[in-house]
Each structure stands twice: as structure tokens, then as C-alpha cells.
Chain A
Amino acid sequence: MDLQAPPWSSIPYDLYSDPAIYAREQERIFRGHAWNYVALEAEIPNVGDFKQTWVGDRPVVVARARDGEVSVVENVCAHRGVAFCSQPHGNTKTFQCPYHQWSYDLKGNLLGVPFRKGIKGEGGLPAEFDFKEHGLNKLFVTTHNGVIFASYDPTMESIEDYLGEILPYFDRMFDGRELRVLGYWRQRIRCNWKLMIENLRDPYHATLLHVFLVQLSLNRADQPSSAVVDRDGKHGAFTSRRGGEIDPEATKEIAAASKSLTLQGKQMLEPVHEFPPPHTLVMQTLWPNVIMQQNLNALAVRQLVPRGPTEFELHWTNFGYGTDDEAMIRRRTMQANLMGPSGLVSIDDSEVIEMAQRGVQRFPELSGVIEMGGLGIDSVEYTATEAPLRSMQKYYRKVMDL
């Protein structure tokens, strides 16, 4: 081990499988000082619309209340703990628990309890039972340009301050235009949730693992890139742009670059520029639970839902804009072949992080080394670096008090 190396230049493997660490993450990260992504406003446009989703491993329901405000409540009845909402989405006037029909308004306030005064004067709730004390557990909610976030922490700064230096990248994708949800994917991946975020914050792997992109010359080690982090190191944005001649010096160490490949079905990849230059790809990792994907014209929100220390679910919401014409929808649909549970690029990632899990959980006493690009934790303009992993590790250790 390098004696001068700061603690965040390595990752202890027990962080990926220890149940105690996992429980602490739920409390300190997902239920701690963070804005968690929960939904897009386009998914609940009308009063009464709701959607089931997750904050960490807690089930919550996002709804649009009668006054138009967005509410987020835990999906657990205040009476006996039943997950009262079993529809993935829908429209309703009230939430009603099926067990004893306790009902709540869409902001989670308790409205009604059957036989509250008993039957023929017998039984019922005590006179001092206070409805205000027995509502659903409510989270703090904020929105920015059509994206909804929730938090358990009453001391959260504004979402704009929270996103900080990453806000311009966020606003590039979500500029207030109407969003159009195109479809969902869900994926259960057998590894710790952090391995997914780290995969997105690791520019070093992209041209080495993703042979499909490299062979199509869609991603090369010599193309201009940047790996930006916010001032805390909690969020990241990786950017890249295509173009220019291949630099043999930059690609000679990539085994896969020796061959080139052409597609028989050209329609899979006929992208157009729809964002201001120069970037053709911007991948944001927003602490703690979401990845915002713009790869060519493939746009998606990837929400992470931990399912214990060694599994998580990835919930993809694929979208376009209200102004999309048929050609653009078709383009996004064809490019969807690159992403998702069957994506010709993303399969490599979901598979390799499962392999990483199989390694790290069998060697909890070991640590991984993340010294690519030195020991710095600041934003850089090249890909042979692990700086965004170090900045995340530093922030993680602070929040976890490790």
C-alpha cells in the first residue's frame, strides 16, 4: 500500500456486503441528508394521479394532491403496517387500506376509521384518539423542471443548491420542456447498489469494456471527455463527444480496437444533435439514487432501489420531449437497443458489476485500489482516471462516519 495514499484511494470490500454497513447506509444516506429522485411530474400530471416508488429500500407513493401539490408518503398504513397501495400507478381520491379501510387524503392525513365510535355504542376508538397523530409518514418534497425529489431530512437546502456544480448538466436535459414518458424497464442486479454508481463514475472502463461502442468507433479513448464532480464529490457528470480522426497512440492498448464493425441494420444508430454542442454523451450520477442518461438520443432516468447488501433494482424511465415528432420517437426507440436490460452497451456493465460482487463478497478483508490518474479528487478532462471514484469514496466515508 502507498503510505501517502489518502483513505479514499482504496475501497474496502466489506462495504459491498456487510449487513451492518447496509443498514447504516439506509439510515444515513437514503434517509439522511439527501434529495432522492422519486418520479417525473409527467408521470402524475393530473390531480389524483399516483405512482409507487422507492426511497432507499422504503416503499413510498408519489401523488398529486387536490391543490396540485406533489406529496410523497410511505406506503405503510398507520394502523397495522399494511402496504396499502398495491397498484404501481393510477388515479384515486383517497388512499384506503384494504385491511380495515382506514383512509387517508393524498397528502397522507388520516380521514376516516370505520367503527370509530363503535357498533351500537360498544367498542370503537378512545375519545382522545387524535387523527392528526395517526397520518401516513410524509417526506419533504421538491421539484425542479419536472423532476420530483423527496427527503426525510427537514434541513435540506434547495434542490438547485444541492445539485450545485452539476445543475447546468441537469438543466441541459431537463430545461423545463414537457417530458413524454416512452416506457419503463426494470432490472434486478445481483450486486451492491454502489457498484452501479461507481460504474458510471469510472471513465477508465468505458473504452476497455464496451467493445460494441469501440468497434463502431462510437467511443474512443482519444475523444474529448470530462469527468466533473460537485464541490462535495457526491454528484458526478461524465461527458464525451464524438468526432475527429482516430489517434492510434490513444487506442493501441485497447485490444478490441483492432477490428472494426459495421451494422447491417443502420437504423439502430442514426443519431441527430438535439442538445447544444459539444457533448454527445452526458451521464450524471446524482447522489444518492439516480443516474441521468443522455447517450446520443437515448434519454433515461435510472433509479437505484437497494434490495439488501448484495442486490438492487434499476428502474429505468425512458423519455423524450413533448415536442418529439415521429422520427425522433423512432430514433429513440431504435437507440434503446444500446441501453437497458438488453442494451448492447449496458449489458456489459450489469454483467461486470455482478462479477465484481462475486469477487468482493468472498474477500471482505481485501480492498480495491483506485489510484488511476493519481490521488486527486477534482474534475478532470481525460478518461484514464478514477478521480470521481475517489471523490465519491471520500464523501461516502464522511456521511457514513467511517
Chain B
Amino acid sequence: MIALPSAELKLALIELYDEYGAALDDELERWPEFFTETALYRIVARENYERDMLWPTMSCEGRGMMLDRIMAIRETSMFAPRQMRHFISGVRILGRTEDGYRTQANFLVGESQVESESRLFAVGRYFDLVVRDEASGGFRFAEKMCVYDGNVILSSLIYPL
């Protein structure tokens, strides 16, 4: 048997992932809030991950690059409007680090465009490092790697995962 995490810890982590998914889908401007100032964010295809090539499909070093990404989505990119919907589950604690936890979770993301039915856009895993935020008492991501299983991106990856 593995040792059970405290209910408070598990709940705090599930809360972090639930709020993260909700923010991505409906309040994109809040996305950087979930990260530390210098956090590393990467989206990587499984075929690269499995070959130890962490070549990102999207990457941000720090909140500044996340804000640039949001600015581009809002102001400069041209794309057909769509609604994304995150389903995050299976939050696991892989281990403790000096100031936080290595965590993993599954994601499933749906995409709905105006002229077409909803489709399954991405399925994969998050491999993250979460650290305590002194001010709020909750957690933030210091690292987040989104590994998508199906290597083919359907059309374009506009929004972060």
C-alpha cells in the first residue's frame, strides 16, 4: 500500500487543477496567475517526449511570455472562433521536492467551433512541479509540461492546454 496524502493536500491540488482548467476555458487572462513568475510552461507531442526531445509545440519561460501569448491570441492572431473545454482528472502526487510536489494529471480537451460539432481536441498528461504560494496559501505551477498523446494537432493549437 502507498501512503495516503493528507486530505487537505489532495484537495488543494485538485482545486488548483480545477481552477486552472476553468480559467483556460473561460478567463484566459487569468492563465498566468497559476504560475510562478519564472515558471517554465511547455506543450510537447508524445512522440517527442518519448524520444527525449522536449521540443515544444508552445513554450513560455515566465509569465511575460504567457502575457505575450495571450496578447497575440487576443489581438494579432487570425483564427476561426472556438470554445475549448478542459476535463482534468487523475491528479497524482509523484513525490516531494524541497519546496513543493511533483504532480501528474490527465487532461482531455474538447473543441467546439461555430460551424461544426464538438470534437475531441487533445488527450494527454500534465507533468508538473507545484510550489506553495506564501501569500495565498495555495499552490502555483513552477513547471508545467503538457504531453499530448495523439501526435497530430487538429487544425491549430490556439489556446494553451
Contact = CB atoms under 8 A, between A and B. Distances in A.
A188 B64 contact: no
A341 B153 contact: yes
A320 to B, nearest CB: 11
B152 A184 contact: no
Contact of B65 (A186, A187, A261, A264): A264
B151 A186 contact: yes
B78 to A, nearest CB: 5
Contacts of A347: 77-79, 156, 158
Contacts of A344: 69, 72, 76-77
Given A215-B76, A264-B65, A186 B153 contact: yes
A263 B68 contact: yes
Interface residues of A, number: 40
B158 A342 contact: yes
Contacts of B15: none
The size bracket of the interface on B is 35 or more
Contact of A265 (B65, B76, B115): B65
Contacts of A207: none
B57 A342 contact: yes
A185 B45 contact: yes
B100 interface: no
A187 B68 contact: no
Interface string B120-155: 000000000000000000000000000000011111
Contacts of B48: 183-184
B41 to A, nearest CB: 11
Given A182-B55, A185-B57, A264 B151 contact: no
B3 interface: no
Given A261-B71, A263-B68, A187 B55 contact: no
Interface string A206-233: 0001011001000000000000000000
Interface stretch (A20-28, A283-291, A351-359, A363-371): A351-359
Interface string B52-91: 0111111111111111110110011111100000000000
Nearest to B49: A183
B157 A341 contact: yes
A340 interface: yes
A318 B55 contact: yes
Interface in B6-55: 43-45, 47-48, 53-55
A341 B68 contact: no
B114 to A, nearest CB: 11
A211 B57 CA distance: 20
Nearest to B50: A88
B153 A185 contact: yes
Interface stretch (A7-15, A60-68, A329-337): A329-337
B161 to A, nearest CB: 10
A350 interface: yes
A267 B57 contact: no
Interface string A312-352: 01000010000000000000011011001110100110111
Contacts of B64: 263-265
Contacts of B71: 261
A47 interface: no
A256 B76 CA distance: 9
Contact of B80 (A264, A318, A351): A351
Contacts of A183: 44-45, 48, 53-56
Given A187-B152, A264-B68, A265-B62, A355 B80 contact: yes
Given A341-B157, A342-B58, 17 more contacts: A184-B47, A185-B153, A186-B153, A190-B155, A261-B76, A265-B62, A265-B65, A267-B61, A267-B65, A333-B59, A337-B58, A337-B69, A342-B57, A348-B78, A351-B79, A354-B80, A354-B155
Interface of B: 43-45, 47-48, 53-69, 71-72, 75-80, 115, 151-158
Interface of A: 88, 181-190, 209, 211-212, 215, 256, 261, 263-265, 267-268, 313, 318, 333-334, 336-337, 340-342, 344, 347-348, 350-352, 354-355, 358
19 contacts: A183-B44, A183-B45, A185-B153, A186-B151, A186-B152, A188-B155, A215-B76, A264-B67, A264-B68, A265-B65, A333-B59, A334-B61, A340-B57, A341-B57, A347-B79, A348-B78, A350-B155, A355-B80, A358-B115
Q: Which 9 A-B pairs have the closest CB atoms?
A: A183-B55, A265-B65, A264-B64, A341-B153, A342-B157, A265-B64, A211-B76, A212-B76, A342-B58
